[in-house]
Amino acid sequence: MSSGGLLLLLGLLTLWEVLTPVSSKDRPKKLGLCPPRPQKPCVKECKNDWSCPGQQKCCNYGCIDECRDPIFVN
């Protein structure tokens, strides 16, 4: 590969790194635990803790993903 091509590749990789949005994997999880599974039909309300408002967590119950207030266990 020529030095110009290598420089272009390096520039594109740098630009990609800068423009890549921060994923939820890089964020810490919110505190607390999810409460027991609700008795309701399957629903996908959230993708991760940060797609829920306030202190709510995205709780997975098999086919149910929903925002719930966390519970705290001592």
At 25 the pLDDT is 64
Rounded to two decimals, the pTM is 0.52
**pLDDT band at 6; cut points 50, 70, 90:** low
Domain covering 3-68 assigned CATH 3.30.70.360 in the classification:
no
Query: What confidence score (pLDDT) does residue 66 get?
Result: 94
3-state helix, strand, coil in the chain (%, to 5): 30, 20, 50
Tens of pLDDT, residues 19-45: 555 555 678 889 999 998 878 888 899
Tokens of 2: 């020529």
